[in-house]
Structure 1
Amino acid sequence: MKKLGFFITSLMLMSIMTHANHANVVHTQGVDMPLEKTPDITPIQKAGSEINMGKVGTLNLGDGLTGQINRAIVAKDWQSLDELLHTYQSSAEYDPILYQYALGAWHRSQFNHHQAIAVYRQMLADNPDFHYVRFDLALMFFEDKRYDEAKSELMAVKPLLNADMQALTERYLDQIDKRNKANTSFNVNYEKTDNVNNASPATQVRWQGKTWKKTAESLPQKATGVRYGFDIAKDKQLRANHYLTANAGIDGVHYWNKPEYDEQTATLGLGYKYQNVRGNVSVVPFLNHTWLDDKPYQYETGIKANINRRISSKLHVGAGVQYAKRHYDEKRLAERYDSDVRRVSASYRYVLMPSLMVFGGVDITDDDTKDKEFASVRHGINLGVLGEMDNGMGGRVSVRYAKRKFDAPEQLLYDFVRQDDEYYLQTALWYDKWQYKGFVPNLNINYRKINSNMADLYSRDGVQSFISVEKKF
């Protein structure tokens, strides 16, 4: 029987060692942006008419097609490999095992894991003693988010590998166990704001020659306090790439000097997710309930659908739609503000280098309240950059602009439709070496400015600064 060469062991070991944590995640501080590497593919050795396994040979890098195929795999020259494989099928050098291995490697490099897995499964059906091919198959299952199959293959092949590869197998098994567990995160922030009530600083309202003086309570109020959040999420694999996804969380803010603005929101979601090496699609019904000053304030029931897609190793794009019914607990508020909320969004992230990426997106939100005076449509656009240096210092800066237009004229004072221009700046800075048991402090400064055509009532700006401490489990 033809066998795989020992070169698959040695070079695979070198490449896989750097590949063991194949999904490196930059410190995103609220922006979930994994930086996926292109899978590392190991060339195989052909010695004469045999592809050897378990003994050392000389890698064929000659001028023949076999050598060219191996060189293409070593250099990750996938375009050339594709062309070579077409020629190789009809050449005198043709060997079906070399062809299958290289074809599977090419599919894997193109993130066509479904095809690559099928090719490697056929290889193992014909040659069940190709243990390192089985190990490679397990890694493809891992990359394709098929963790149950990956674990099964790794457990089966582990006793048949050498000591170094067994240790590497344990690392992958540990990663699978971690990914199958619930993900929890906790954060707490010291917060200071100069406009907790989102009020205009204008002390008077002027219209058509008349002037009204505002009360002190209707002017911007300063507040200090603590903001907190706890979230737990779990994806349960049902079969292959199909998952049940669930999440729950609570977040809120408590102001020491303005407890009437204390707010808490509980969230619960349960739905379906399909995920693979190229991205994911999810549909999740959800429920949110908010309390204001420890009293029930509003709740939402709805459904959201999201799709995220890897275009290349550097570019990821996403889109989402959401529909919710918002209901206020207090009757007088419900009669005016109960609404149907519809939202669509699109986003991207692009990796400039392993430690630096840009991200952005656009969104439209339609808040269709019962009282059309308060119904509005908001169009937004955002752009940001996130980076982290080798020494652990990192930061994020993002800007956002939104145009909000209401549906009907204001009834109390003005007789025209309200329109707002909204500007946002968010910054965060952290240093990973300043941590305690995984808790990393972050310095955050946010700025918001709203220009309204009803300036005396709604134009405002404000700075929010806080130190947050976060940890993911």
Structure 2
Amino acid sequence: MKKYYFTSLVFLCSTALSAPAPSEQDALRLWQQHVQQSAQQQKEHVVYERSSTDTFTVDGYGFQVAHNVEAIGQALYIAINQQLWEYVTLFLAKYQQFPQHKAELVWFAQGALARVQGDLSSAEKYYRQLLQAQPDFVRAQLDLARILFEEKKNLQSTALFQQIMTQPLPENVLHAVKDYQHALKQRESWKSTFSLGYVYNQNLNQSPQQTRCLLQQAKQCLVYRRSPEVINAQGWRYDLTLQRRISLHDNHGIGVYVNSYGQFYPHHHAYNEHTIKAYGGYNFRTANTDLTVAPLIEYSTFGHHRYYHGWGGYVNWIQQISPRHLWSMQFEQKQHRYSEHYSAFTQADVSLLFGTWYYQPTPQATLFGGVDWQYRHTTDKTHSYQMFGTRFGVNYQFELGLNVTALTLLRRYDYQAYHAALGVTRRDNQRIYLAILSVPTWQFSNITPSLMIKHTRNKSNADFVYAYKQSEIQLNFEWSF
């Protein structure tokens, strides 16, 4: 008896592309932004044994400090210069007990202590009081310029360093000032990265790889429903990021961000993807806080046609909780207009929220995790859904130069209405596993090689259409300029 084979019409329509859900690209972007924005600083702490007497140690030598205002004041000044903060605290308390103490030295000590304790606003206040009393005190000018630098008050810091450069300075101080000026210039300049790489995708078309019998007679299947054959493809990927911050006043400024990325398959042009996203708007930045509020635009193509274009608003908040803990929140509200080539609907309102916590137990290791949420609303409820997800990851920098990042994404998609063609109200559970290996020590001409391995498993109650397994490997070369 003749058997009939056909591919499900539902499958062909649905895999042409429904609106994109947040993929691993969002998670990678969050991690890359964290790496770029947070400089890993290693601080050396020197522990000094506190004595109950007025004896303190400098370079291994002990000194006895007489109990009078001149001796205590001199010891306090030496302790500040030597960054012996326990002794600064001790001698400052003793020095303030003398009625004839000098307010300028007290402000100097209080400002230095506030700075080392991370209270930069108080440190700035004390140093401004000191310079108001002694405007030619170059050491105080230098410290205040550094504090303004740490507070991200770039314009004020730049102006003060320029003023300091007009004065005669020791050679080592001159070099330090030039380093700060160079860093300030870099803060206000464009920062760009471009990566280009080879990609091999197994199951590019996300085929469920299933065969089902639709009509059976005498224990023999007459009509099959068969998924399309799996497409394994080689191609190229790219990712370009441009960003800049322009300071306006104090901690206020304008932030500009442009990101374009995509994949190109020479023998499967129908699966080529290109996306560009840009925003520009208000930015508030301090030593511990970074807040951006801006309008954004997006444009995406798939295959040979426009897929969608969109516009909306973007909010990004990064907060340094402590030297080891950092928290970030990113929210987007936008409207997408879709091409009739790829979508059963013309527009959708999309809301995205990502919250991430970073913890650095050692200078070499970073643990991070977060929650993801997305809501897509369309006039046809069968295409509306909510997504809830979570992310877990770890990054470790080995002494031999290898940098390894492992990331797991777990997501659940709950569609809002019964789909007659599918026969169910769709529910998907997605798992994505990522591993990224790079060797920064192999960098040449600011180009760093990296290898990324990704595996995706999507389970669905409409499994004959939407369930799939996909693996991908990428060899990338990233250039920073």
- The answer to whether the superposition gives a TM-score over 0.5 is yes
Is 1:195 matched with 2:206? Answer: no
* 1:310 alignment counterpart: 320
Matches within 5 A, 1:197-276: 197-204=205-212, 213-214=224-225, 218-276=228-286
Q: Equivalents in 1 of 2:394, 2:403: separation in Å?
A: 11
Out of 394, 409, 413, which is 1:404 matched to?
Answer: 413
- Please report how far the alpha carbon of residue 77 of structure 1 lies from its aligned counterpart in structure 2 after TM superposition: 4.9
Letter in 1 for 2:362: M
Is 1:124 matched with 2:131? Answer: yes
Letter in 2 for 1:34: S
Letter in 1 for 2:112: A
* 1:133 alignment counterpart: 140
* 2:9 alignment counterpart: none
* 2:186 alignment counterpart: 178
- Please report how far the alpha carbon of residue 436 of structure 1 lies from its aligned counterpart in structure 2 after TM superposition: 2.5
SS of residue in 1 equivalent to 2:417 = strand
Q: Would the alpha carbon gap of residues 196 and 62 (structure 1) be closer, same or farther in structure 2, given more than 3 Å must change?
A: farther
SS of residue in 2 equivalent to 1:408 = coil
SS of residue in 2 equivalent to 1:312 = coil
Q: Would the alpha carbon gap of residues 88 and 409 (structure 1) be closer, same or farther in structure 2, given more than 3 Å must change?
A: farther
* 1:286 alignment counterpart: 296
Q: Equivalents in 1 of 2:282, 2:393: separation in Å?
A: 30
Out of 340, 361, 379, which is 2:388 matched to?
Answer: 379
Q: Equivalents in 2 of 1:87, 1:205: separation in Å?
A: 90
What do residues 358-394 of structure 1 show as CA deviations (whole Å, max 9, x unaligned)?
Answer: 1111121111122111211111111111121333211
Q: Equivalents in 2 of 1:383, 1:392: separation in Å?
A: 23
Which shifted more, 66-75 or 242-251?
66-75
Q: Equivalents in 1 of 2:222, 2:381: separation in Å?
A: 26
What do residues 47-80 of structure 1 show as CA deviations (whole Å, max 9, x unaligned)?
Answer: xxxxxxxxxxx997848676589769835459x9
Which shifted more, 207-216 or 275-284?
207-216
Q: Equivalents in 1 of 2:157, 2:196: separation in Å?
A: 37
What do residues 23-43 of structure 1 show as CA deviations (whole Å, max 9, x unaligned)?
Answer: xxxxx756435145488999x
CA contact (8 A) 1:402 1:421 kept: yes
Letter in 1 for 2:138: H
Q: Equivalents in 1 of 2:62, 2:111: separation in Å?
A: 19
Q: Equivalents in 2 of 1:242, 1:300: separation in Å?
A: 28
CA RMSD of aligned residues (A): 3.1
* 1:20 alignment counterpart: none
Letter in 2 for 1:284: A
Is 1:34 matched with 2:38? Answer: yes
- Please report how far the alpha carbon of residue 129 of structure 1 lies from its aligned counterpart in structure 2 after TM superposition: 2.0
* 1:430 alignment counterpart: 438
Out of 162, 169, 175, which is 1:155 matched to?
Answer: 162
Letter in 1 for 2:133: D
Which shifted more, 154-163 or 105-114?
105-114
Q: Equivalents in 1 of 2:98, 2:414: separation in Å?
A: 68
Q: Equivalents in 2 of 1:68, 1:93: separation in Å?
A: 15
Q: Would the alpha carbon gap of residues 208 and 388 (structure 1) be closer, same or farther in structure 2, given more than 3 Å must change?
A: farther
Out of 366, 377, 385, which is 2:375 matched to?
Answer: 366
The TM-score normalised by the length of structure 1 is: 0.82
Q: Equivalents in 1 of 2:102, 2:145: separation in Å?
A: 24
* 2:458 alignment counterpart: 450
Letter in 1 for 2:156: E
SS of residue in 2 equivalent to 1:119 = helix
Q: Equivalents in 1 of 2:311, 2:226: separation in Å?
A: 36
Q: Would the alpha carbon gap of residues 149 and 60 (structure 1) be closer, same or farther in structure 2, given more than 3 Å must change?
A: farther
Matches within 5 A, 1:413-428: 413-414=422-423, 416-428=424-436
Q: Equivalents in 1 of 2:370, 2:106: separation in Å?
A: 43
CA contact (8 A) 1:200 1:219 kept: no
- Please report how far the alpha carbon of residue 166 of structure 1 lies from its aligned counterpart in structure 2 after TM superposition: 0.1
Letter in 2 for 1:369: T
- Please report how far the alpha carbon of residue 295 of structure 1 lies from its aligned counterpart in structure 2 after TM superposition: 1.6
Q: Equivalents in 1 of 2:341, 2:261: separation in Å?
A: 25
SS of residue in 1 equivalent to 2:421 = coil
CA contact (8 A) 2:372 2:389 kept: yes
Equivalent residues, number: 426
Letter in 2 for 1:356: A
Letter in 2 for 1:409: Y
SS of residue in 1 equivalent to 2:206 = coil
- Please report how far the alpha carbon of residue 139 of structure 1 lies from its aligned counterpart in structure 2 after TM superposition: 0.9
- Please report how far the alpha carbon of residue 90 of structure 1 lies from its aligned counterpart in structure 2 after TM superposition: 3.9
Q: Equivalents in 1 of 2:114, 2:199: separation in Å?
A: 50
Which shifted more, 185-194 or 200-209?
200-209
CA contact (8 A) 1:203 1:219 kept: no
- Please report how far the alpha carbon of residue 87 of structure 1 lies from its aligned counterpart in structure 2 after TM superposition: 6.8
- Please report how far the alpha carbon of residue 291 of structure 1 lies from its aligned counterpart in structure 2 after TM superposition: 1.3
Q: Equivalents in 2 of 1:74, 1:418: separation in Å?
A: 63
Is 1:102 matched with 2:109? Answer: yes
Q: Equivalents in 1 of 2:465, 2:331: separation in Å?
A: 32
- Please report how far the alpha carbon of residue 206 of structure 1 lies from its aligned counterpart in structure 2 after TM superposition: 6.5
* 1:145 alignment counterpart: 152
CA contact (8 A) 1:337 1:371 kept: no
Q: Would the alpha carbon gap of residues 186 and 60 (structure 1) be closer, same or farther in structure 2, given more than 3 Å must change?
A: farther
- Please report how far the alpha carbon of residue 311 of structure 1 lies from its aligned counterpart in structure 2 after TM superposition: 0.9
Out of 301, 305, 309, which is 1:299 matched to?
Answer: 309
Matches within 5 A, 1:35-54: 35=39, 37=41
CA contact (8 A) 1:111 1:278 kept: no
Matches within 5 A, 1:313-332: 313-330=323-340
Letter in 2 for 1:195: N
Q: Equivalents in 2 of 1:106, 1:71: separation in Å?
A: 11
Q: Equivalents in 2 of 1:470, 1:397: separation in Å?
A: 19
SS of residue in 2 equivalent to 1:336 = coil
Is 1:349 matched with 2:358? Answer: yes
- Segments of structure 1 that go 5 or more residues without pairing to the other structure are 1-27, 43-57
Structure possessing the higher radius of gyration over alpha carbons: 2
Out of 447, 456, 469, which is 1:461 matched to?
Answer: 469
CA contact (8 A) 2:330 2:353 kept: yes
Q: Would the alpha carbon gap of residues 160 and 208 (structure 1) be closer, same or farther in structure 2, given more than 3 Å must change?
A: farther
CA contact (8 A) 2:305 2:341 kept: no
Q: Would the alpha carbon gap of residues 62 and 468 (structure 1) be closer, same or farther in structure 2, given more than 3 Å must change?
A: farther
